[in-house]
Every structure is written in C-alpha cells, then in structure tokens.
Amino acid sequence: MSEVEARGLEVRYGNFTALAELDLKVAPGQFLVLLGPSGCGKSTLLNAIAGLQDVTKGQVWIGGRNVTWAEPRDRGIAMVFQSYALYPKMTVRQNLSFGLKVAGLPAAEIDSRVRSAAETLQLGALLERRPAELSGGQRQRVAIGRVLVRKASVFLFDEPLSNLDAQLRVELRREIKRLHRHLGSTSIYVTHDQVEAMTLADNIAVMNKGRIEQLGTPEEIYGKPASRYVAGFVGSPAMNFIEGTLESTGGQPVFRWGGRGVPLSRYDMRDGTHADGRRVLMGLRPEHALLGDAAAAADFDENCTIDMVEKMGSDTLAWCFSTSGHQLSVRADADSGLREGETIRVGLPASRLSLFDAATGERL
C-alpha cells in the first residue's frame, strides 16, 4: 500500500492549462475520488499519476519514490478504463495474464493468480471467451480482474462505470467498494457522478479548471462545501441559492434580502468574517428546509406557494415561490400529500445553511 503524492503538478497543452500547480496527497490505503465535470482536469491528473501523460512541471511520488519520469509499468499501479480497454483478440484468460506474461512471471504463478481473480469476480465460466462475447458488466469485471492479478499497490479508475446501465453501475460500485475493503490498495477514482463519489470515497477532491476546489470527506463536501462551485456541483437536486447581503444587527450577523433577514447566530461563521454589508449567496439544500409546524422553530420562516411537485418515490420534491419571490426546492416525505397551488410554511435553519462571498465564491 503506497502513498501517492502530486507536488506542484502542472500539465499544459499549448496555451491551455489542464492542471495548474496541483498538490495532492493520498494516504496509503485511502480511497480518493476525483470529482468534477468533463474538462476539469481529473482524467489528466489520473493519467499523469499513471505515467500516461507527460507533465509540464512538478513531480509525482508513489510509495516514497519520485516516479515523475518512470514508465507506467515501473510505478506499481494498475488501471481500469472507461471503455474497458480489453484486448479484443485475446480471450478473458489471455487478457488477465497478458501483463503477468510481459513481466515474465512463471506460468504456475500466472495461472493461480488468474484463477483467484476469476473466482473473486465470478469470471470462472468466461475464461475462454473473447471480449466481444461478453456483456458490458462482464467486460468491466474482466478489466477489474486485470487490475487484481497485478497485485499493484495503487489502483487507478478512470470513470469505470460510466458506460454501464444504472443497475449494473450500482452493482459494480458495491463490488469495487468491497474489493477495496478486502485488498486495502490505495485507490484513485475519477468520476463525474456524485453518487459514486459519495458512496465510494474516503476522501473526495472536487476539481474545477485544473485545480482542486475542495478536498475532504464526503460529509464535509456535502455539508460544508468550501465554495459556491462545490455547493452547486454536489447534491441532487441542486442547492437553492438566494443572493443578499451580510449585515450586522445588534452585534449579530444577519443575512438580508428583499427586506427579510435570517439571524445567523447559529451559523458556523468562518473566523475573521465581517458582517459589513457585502454581497453574499445563501445556499440551502432542499432536504434541510423545514416544513409545516417544524418551520416555526427555524431561525427564519415564510410562506411558499407550491408551483410543481415531483414525486421521486422515496420522497417528494416540491418547487415553490416564496413571498419574497424566490423559487425554492424543498424535499418532503413521500406521504406528505403536497399539492400544486398549496401554500406551505418553509423554515430555514441557520446551522445548516451555507454562505458564500458573492464575489469570490468562497465559503464564509
């Protein structure tokens, strides 16, 4: 189990900066997810760590060694790709053993490793088949098997589940998590799917324009997003945002908009933030809104007229217009019986809000 580290890593294509002076440390055995939209540099970072992408500046360290210019095979890594990347003319067995053969392992050792990987992934019956004769899920299992047989100390995953249908994705997600628990290899996993990120990760690094916006546990990323960008990207349905000002009333900070104010005495404000009337964005997750009787106990509450109701099955999402003219989405129980046109009371608990500087986007 190796530590993986990027030191001041920079990758540029001509004038385009794909990675900008990026520092990242992944502890041995940790499962790190790189999360971000396409073009944010997450795959570039993974490829740079794998040695498949030349870096412009900076260093890559794996297991205490500077491997910046080492060949991929000399880095102690194994990798799973989005398109499976199986060798089409080889059988499953040949696909699994190719890397070991190249490494010159004895046949008996290769055979036992292939057999054990096939057993772990339930591929035993498919060993003599070609990739074309396998389903998508089976193919990705083989790709994961190719990682297992290498007994690498670092596993790299490049959007491995994106090509699969929803059900298989959930199934293989669990399988990957179980494998990680079982093997404990340091893992770096690239995805744009926040559910995958939340469920798999020990730590999530949310990336934007070649930088890491926030690095933290899934709870931190979700509950205390470090920036407006992270808050908007993580969470589905998305966070509600209201623009207003941060002012001070009687020594206490208050969020004000349209003549209304949310007292923030219970908000965990970052030290050194001055309530000086600056423009801020207030963020509220739909499930943190308090409805009905509970709303009265919140730091602030007002009426909201329901415009549309979306039933998710497990719960219900209601879109409503508040009396201050903002559209809010609030989550309610599936059996709450909310109807379109109905006016409900919505409460905002200050402790669960997120405040961002409107100019810089940083959390306050």
Query: Which residues in the 94-133 window bind other proteins by CB under 8 A?
Result: 98-99, 102-103
Least distance CB 81 / other proteins (angstroms): 4
Query: Which residues in the 306-325 window bind other proteins by CB under 8 A?
Result: none
Indicate the burial class of 207 (C-beta count within 10 angstroms; 0-12, 13-18, 19 or more): buried
Query: Which residues in the 75-94 window bind other proteins by CB under 8 A?
Result: 77-79, 81-90
Least distance CB 47 / other proteins (angstroms): 8
Nearer to other proteins, 88 or 223 (CB): 88
Q: How far apart are CA 146 and CA 95, in angstroms?
A: 7
Q: Count residues contacting other proteins (CB under 8 A)?
A: 28
3-state DSSP of 164-218? CCHHHHHHHHHHHHHHHHHHCCEEEEEECCHHHHHHHCCEEEEEECCEEEEEECH
CB within 8 A of 187, min separation 6: which ones? Answer: 30, 31, 32, 154, 155, 156, 157, 180
Nearer to other proteins, 153 or 354 (CB): 153
Least distance CB 66 / other proteins (angstroms): 19
Least distance CB 98 / other proteins (angstroms): 5
Instruction: For the sheet with 315-322, list strands across it.
Output: 290-291, 343-348, 300-311, 315-322, 327-333
Would strands 343-348 and 290-291 be described as parallel, antiparallel, or unpaired? antiparallel
Query: Which residues in the 22-81 window bind other proteins by CB under 8 A?
Result: 47, 50-52, 71-73, 77-79, 81
Q: Is 153 in the site for other proteins (CB under 8 A)?
A: no
Least distance CB 100 / other proteins (angstroms): 9
Least distance CB 80 / other proteins (angstroms): 9
Q: How far apart are CA 201 and CA 62, in angstroms?
A: 20
Nearer to other proteins, 43 or 120 (CB): 43
Q: How far apart are CA 309 and CA 66, in angstroms?
A: 55
Q: Tell me which residues touch other proteins (CB under 8 A).
A: 47, 50-52, 71-73, 77-79, 81-90, 98-99, 102-103, 143, 146, 150, 158
